[in-house]
Amino acid sequence: MNEKTTADLENLRGLIDGVDQQLLHLLRKRLDLVAQVGAVKHGAGLPIYAPQREAAMLAKRRGEAVSMNVSPQLIEDILRRLMRESYLNEKDVGFKQVNPDLGHVVIVGGEGKLGGLFSQMLTLSGYQVKVLDKDDWARAEEIFDGAGLVIVTVPISITCSLIKDKLSNLSAECILADLTSVKSEPVKAMLEAHQGPVVGLHPMFGPDVGSLAKQVVVVCHGRDSEQYQWLLEQIQIWGARIVEAEPERHDKAMQLVQAMRHFSSFVYGLNLYKEEADIESLLQFSSPIYRLELAMVGRLFAQSPELYADIIFAQKESMQAIGDYLDNYSQALSLLQAGDRNAFVDQFKEVAQWFGDFAPQFQRESRAMLQSVNDMKTD
Ligand SMILES: O=C(O)C(=O)C[C@]1(C(=O)O)C=C[C@@H](O)C=C1
């Protein structure tokens, strides 16, 4: 680089620094305004996530961007990222308490991560939360006394027996709920053990989400739904969407969404290990989509084996779904072994047709994810 180029670059970079600093001041200003919105919403009991406002705002800013010759996708990306920050900041103000007359809440297994998250959200909404963990059963009577809501969040393998053995003496006004990732058996166990209101919940997210905005909570109604309507409203104020489902339909979906999905990730990791793959060089040669795939598999092994064993072993019917996958894998492999390229292409087309409009939709969604993966690269 000659001296002039160096000086020009230095000058321009100085100006860019100035613009970035202005951006920073604007961000601070936006965060302060969002904090005020959070306080207003808290007072009025409005949900943290306002999809209509977001859609209207994004459409306007996109239009303005076009007229200023700025990419509309750029402003949308930036605003979506800022709104993610808003969810976190608005959360800190706390939430309206929908049912101030409720007695305290007991979280059975509250030292677990999901239990901890619910405990935090309920506390931020003004409820008194007591945790009952495995060493506290000697004090159980005292902890349950006066409770308005008991939430069970213990490993799936012990959920039903715990409900049956330990939760059959709750008062009839108390709401009994669970957060288990299968629903048929736990809801049945709760209905058998308890006379009062019963509801099965399945939060479709992990405990590290930060905010519940845009997350989904599946609800399986048990008994006396009018008694726990406030709880569903409270969850919506936290920003989550409620999806109602019959326990059987939910559990069937989980065989594919959870058991089969996690099991194939497990086998993928097992295979890399047995093949003695060199992760460093896989990463070096990986396309963004492969990196994403490796991240999806690798993150499994950063978590608790018991948790995944619990999910995978939860329903014996999952074995059928996993067995079908193995059969399809073998059949597809036999096309390859037979060198039958045409049959592979035909099969591909058949599946693509079945995916229909979802295929291009998933392609668009993954494009945005892949760009973020690329943005995160530092070398
Ligand atoms: O306008 C609101 O209701 C806000 O809470 C602010 C804001 C934003 O950051 O602009 C954040 C979350 C909502 O989903 C919509 C918009």
Q: pLDDT tens digits, the chain, 379 residues: what are they?
A: 899 999 999 999 999 999 999 999 999 999 999 999 998 998 888 888 999 999 999 999 999 999 999 999 999 999 999 999 999 887 878 899 999 999 999 999 977 789 999 999 999 999 999 999 989 999 999 999 999 999 999 999 999 999 999 999 999 999 999 999 999 999 999 999 999 999 999 999 988 888 999 999 999 999 999 999 999 999 999 999 999 999 999 999 999 989 999 999 999 999 999 999 999 999 888 888 898 999 999 999 999 899 899 999 999 999 999 999 999 999 999 999 999 999 999 999 999 999 999 999 999 999 888 888 888 777 7
| Atom 7 of ligand 1, residue of closest alpha carbon | 83
Q: What is the spatial order of strands in the sheet that 149-152 belongs to?
A: 129-132, 105-108, 149-152, 175-178, 198-203, 216-223, 241-244
Nearest atom within ligand 1 for CA of residue 50 = 14
Nearest atom within ligand 1 for CA of residue 49 = 14
Pocket test for ligand 1, best of 54, 76, 88 (most atoms within 8 A of CB): 54
Nearest atom within ligand 1 for CA of residue 46 = 3
Query: Identity (one letter) of the amino acid at 295?
Result: A
The pTM for the full model equals 0.87
Closest to 107 (Cα-Cα) out of 143, 127, 131: 131
- ipTM > 0.90, yes or no: yes
